[in-house]
Structures are given as structure tokens and as C-alpha cells.
Amino acid sequence: MDDYSITANEAAGLLGIEGLELRNRLRAERPAGAIQIPNRKNGRWYLAGWYVEQLAAEYDRHLVIRKSAPTAHTPPSEVVDHQLPATDTGHRVWSEWVTFNLALPLAPLFPGVYMFRKADEPEAGPVYIGMAGERKGTGVRGRLSIYASGRGATSGLGEHAMDRALADPAWLQARLDEAVAGRPMRATTAARSAINHAHLEVRWQTVPTKAEAKVLEDQLIAEHPGRLWNRPQRFQMNVQEPLT
């Protein structure tokens, strides 16, 4: 599994396509760069980094997720090691800031918190802080994959990113041109496009349990009042909302 650490849904998010589209292709082609576990209907697909890079080239995306020597065509800053930590050592230590388009294969499988900021305004501080529990063993990476796949459109981060995109005439015109050409975006693809439009970077910090992640999230939000895209708490209104 060390060479096949990216799920089909995560890869689809990186490529900006529907997860179902990619899974259908994998079932039809059974490429060498993908395995299905268990190897039967409804088995989960895992992809090798080199195969995701190959797909990215087909979809006209520039994506490098293998650890390799830089070339004339690959700036050193874009070379990413997708290997994940094998143990829980290193909890409560912030990762480096990573461009969100390149972050998913690097994100840890432990509970923790994550912090987004605008890549073009790093001095302004974070714009969103969230937490992730175990999420069936996928931790922070599982939570970030929600945004990468476009399924986080109704979260605080996804909604605010969409609001910003909708306020940009150029982004709207591009979506209109696609619709007129008969290539309208699906809702999840538009949500991912809005995240891309926001030009975000992300970093994370892991903890052993979901409960500790929630405590740390509350502390961090309290330290950054006023600017965050997080929705305000509504406990006093007795309104239940999905976790963000």
C-alpha cells in the first residue's frame, strides 16, 4: 500500500473531475497504477502517485506528487513527497504551509486541526480553522478531501469561497461560457473551482483523539477573532448545523 496511498476520490479532487467518472475509468481500464481493495464490486480504489501525475497530464493539469529530483520543467517548490507518517510521533506540531492543490496526498491520517490562509496575503493570517476526527481512519486527510472533491460547498469554508467566486465577474463569465458551449459545470466541480479561485494554502497539526482536536480548534478560533470565514456558533439559538 505504500505506493498506492491516494484514493480515487482524493485523486478526482486533485484533478478537478467527478469521483464517479474516475472510478468508471478505473473499472474499465484496470491500469497498472491503480488497485482495488477488495478486488470486487464496491472495492475501494487506491492510486499510485505516478499514475495520478499521468492522469493530471491528460487533463491538462500540472501536478507533481512524487518525491523526485527537480528537472528543467519542475521547479523545486513543486516537488512533493506523498509519503505519510507511519506512527503518531509529531503530534501538536504544525506542518509547513502547502498550496491546497498539492496538500491532499501529504495530509496525515490522524485527527487534528487545519488552518487555511490566502496564498497572496500570508501576512494577514488564517481565514479558516477546522478540525477532523478519525473519519474512519482518514483523519485530517479525509476532511480535506471533502473540500478537494467539491462536497464541502455548504461548509463555512466552501460557502465563503463560493461567495467570493460569485462576486468575481471573470469567474462567472467563464462558467457562463462553459454553459453556452454545452459544457456546464456540475455543482461539485463548481465548488472545487471556487476553492481554487480563493488561492488557499493549508497547514495542519495532529492530535491523538477527536476530542482533543475539538478543544484545539476552539482555542485557535478564539485566538483569531473577526477575520475567519468560520460560521459563528449558534448554540444559543438551538440550531444544529453540520460540522465544518
Locate the domains of the chain by residue range: 1-83, 84-244
pLDDT of 70: 36
**Residues paired with residue 118 on neighbouring β-strands, in sequence order:** 200
Class of domain 84-244: alpha beta
Q: pTM for the whole thing? A: 0.64
Of 104, 89, 166, 189, the C-alpha closest to 141 is 104
Query: How does pLDDT run along the chain (244 residues), one tens digit per residue?
Result: 346 778 888 888 888 888 889 999 999 998 888 888 887 888 889 888 888 888 888 877 777 665 433 333 333 333 333 333 333 446 889 999 998 988 887 888 889 999 999 999 999 999 999 999 986 778 898 899 889 888 888 888 999 999 999 999 999 999 999 999 999 988 888 998 999 999 999 999 999 899 999 999 999 999 988 789 987 754 333 334 444 4
The C-alpha angle with vertex 78 and arms to 152 and 36, in degrees rounded to 5, equals: 55
Residue 73: count other Cβ atoms within 10 Å of its Cβ. 8
